[in-house]
Amino acid sequence: MQSTLEAAPTKPIERVLGSYSSGRSGVLVVVLGGLHGNEPAGIHAARRVLATLEREQPEMRGALLALAGNTAALAQGQRFIDRDLNRMWSEDDVRIAREAGGDDCRERGEQRALLAEIEPRLAQSWSQVLFLDLHSTSAEGPPFCLVGDTLQNRRIALRLKLPVILGLEENVEGTLLGHYGEQGHVAIGVEGGRHDDPRTIDHHESVLWTVLVTAGLLVEADLPEYARHRARLETAGAGPPAVLELLHRHAVEPGDGFRMEPGFVNFQPVEHGELRAGADGGQRIEAPRAGVLLMPLYQGQGQDGFFLGRRVRPFWLHLSTLLRRLRLGTRLQPAAGRAPRGRPPRRARGRPPRRALPLARALPPVRLPQGASRGRARLLHAQGGAAEAMSPMCLMSPMNPRRLAAASLAAALTIACSSASDGLRVLVPTVERAPETATAGFDHSHARWTALLREHVRPDGIDYRGFGKDIPAFDRYLAELQAVDRPELEGWTREQRFAFWINVYNAHVVRLIVDHYPVASIKDLGGTVFGRIWDKKIVPLPDLDPEGKGANLSLGTIEHEILRPRFKDARVHAAINCASVSCPPLLPEAFVAERLDAQLDAVMHAFVADPTRNRLDREGHTIHLSKIFDWFASDFERDAESVRAYVTKYAPADPKWIAGAKVKYRDYSWKLNDAAEK
């Protein structure tokens, strides 16, 4: 194969390197190479993958789009012409790019061309969008990932078997991945190796194949070379810690004359004061603390002299994941301190922090280091002052025992971490938010839920195993639901609220099964020790707690305290699915406000006419009904004179005979409605 030097382009290249799709709905993967013009390896890797896809024609769920970044700088083989294109994605910069005549630098045209390719595709219906930004470094060292610390980013990055670096978005502003990550998309950066090392292209190619399989676009069995790509990444990523957090960035400003002393490599351990670099005026630059060296600058252009990181131990990583899934949160208060050189503090830039979760009032406030990103789970330094942060008022909020125990656990961990000799950081989580657009204007089409349902709901049941392969897309939809607060919900129409709660119920029933799959019955997830599954508070919508206590909701609460009493429509019993054989089938699309009445009519007609659930025996003058009509008889009698009258309304053919028919109720099967078992 050619090295990156041999393959480096000598003239501008096309913006769109290529795309591939089989026409099926699913995940959109946007691959970017060459955002820095001296880093063409990602472009060559993307071309390799596209060539293989076109030759082999595998079935793809979703689409791949590969784009070239700074085409003018690529032609000249330099990082940028006027401005670093990967530092131009702040809200202000993107707004300027969208305005006519905003060409304040040559990179602005490059940015505008990228937006023109990306944004129309984001407006389409995808179960998830994943950005993969392929880079290389000027120093020696193995490939590694750089991600914002969200669970959906972790899930993809850790599957690559490369070292994962968390916290870049806290240290570097204006990156493309930061921009789209803040919108709720998966955003993964990969440093494939040294610029001129031919293995860098190989690493990027293997990363791209792995992402396409991990994100569910391709099936491993369709890729004969997949095992080789996985082995390549495992070999390349062996040695450094699996996960690190960034602790320090040495910023380089124009005119500094920064010079890194030779011989340093990525992941090299350094002691406090050991690192050597220089600047104009004879200034000596040393490591301000011990750590692991990352991305030392050995090129003429660049704003980052070097980074220092520290290993994140698996215990803390798993703990933070657990706390996030429990939906614990905290109000994060920025500590006073000096902003990075040349930049005002983030909170001074007019971008309000995302709202704290209701559980925050039960947790002690935690000071957030200067520059930490809004609304994300952060690695919060708990050095000293933990007792000062413990407010006695936090114990005065009314909580049930489970919330109190969770709050106490989080507080105890904060104190424990503050006294640890190595200055461990506690990973304090908040709910990962949906895109800002979902918060400002909720997507009442529930397009992402529809995409999942159409893919995994079959006439003979639900493909829970398939749902389990679409976890990133599933998380994306659940995050949209969780972003809704009470004022927003109360501003919706009745139909919008009704559709929302039906979809919330169904999505969380499916997710419950997926998280415990395989299981014989949903009732097996309850038990005498922990109570019925319907009473477990598994739905993380504390803002919408009907009792106003800020607690998570149970499926029983949604059904019996929200759906039935508020909307008073017995058709809901054919719309919600309890993951059981005797339950009405799950509609293979989301319920939506503009078609809600027609959808409810359709599912009730189908339920009544389904002989496996309701047998209308005209010859025997008997109707054998689902136990649902018995359990919720008062709902059906409210909407009609009797259960018979209700069934008559939705029965097929000539139903008049039902008025005098005998009524018998059928046994109810709680066996899982698993398509894989049929």
Q: Which residues of 121-138 are buried (b: 16+ CB within 10 A; e: fewer)?
A: eeeeebbbbbbbbbbbbb
Q: Which of 479, 415, 449 is nearest to 587 (CA)?
A: 449
Output the DSSP codes for 559-618.
Answer: IIIIIHHHH--GGGGGTS--SBTTSPPPPSS---GGGHHHHHHHHHHHHHH-TTT-EEET
On the question of pLDDT at 290 being above 70, the answer is: yes
Judged against a pLDDT cut of 80, whether residue 649 lies above it is answered with yes
pLDDT (0 to 100) of residue 626: 97
Q: What is the pLDDT of residue 102?
A: 62
User: Is residue 600 over pLDDT 60?
Assistant: yes
Hey, what are 481's tokens?
Answer: 């639901």
Sign of CA dihedral 169, 173, 175, 181: positive
Backbone angles phi, psi at 335, to 5 degrees: -80, 150
What is the pLDDT of the chain when averaged over all its residues? 79
The SS3 assignment for 30 reads strand
What CA–CA distance (Å, rounded) separates 44 from 47? 5
Asked whether the beta carbons of 25 and 454 are under 8 A apart, the reply is yes
Task: Name the percent of the chain in helix, strand, coil, to the closest 5.
Answer: 40, 15, 40
Q: Looking at residues 411-431, what average pLDDT do you find?
A: 39
Res. 3 pLDDT band, cuts 50 70 90: very low
Q: How confident is the model at residue 493 (pLDDT cuts 50, 70, 90)?
A: very high
* pLDDT band with cut points at 50, 70 and 90 for residue 362: very low
Checking if the pLDDT of 549 tops 70, the result is yes
Which distant-in-sequence residues (6+ apart) come within 8 Å of 224 by Cβ? Answer: none
Asked whether residue 545 carries a pLDDT value surpassing 80, the answer given is: yes
What SS3 class is residue 5? Answer: helix
Count other C-beta atoms under 10 Å from residue 537's C-beta: 19
Q: Which amino acid is at 458?
A: R
pLDDT recorded at residue 284: 75
pLDDT tens, 237-264? 888 888 888 888 888 777 677 777 788 8
Q: Does the pLDDT value for residue 330 go beyond 70?
A: no
* Cα–Cα–Cα angle for 329, 332, 335, rounded to 5 degrees: 155
Contact 136, 192 (CB under 8 A): yes
Q: What is the pLDDT of residue 19?
A: 96
Instruction: Provide the residue count of the chain.
Output: 678
Rounded CA-CA distance 405/559 in Å is 27
> Residue 631 pairs with which residues in a beta bridge?
none
Q: In the predicted model, what is the mean pLDDT of residues 434-446?
A: 61
The reply to whether the predicted model has a pTM over 0.85 is no
Q: How far apart are CA 189 and CA 197, in angstroms?
A: 18
Q: What is the pLDDT of residue 52?
A: 95
- CA-CA distances (angstroms) from residue 205 to 32, 72, 129, 202, 268? 12, 24, 19, 5, 26
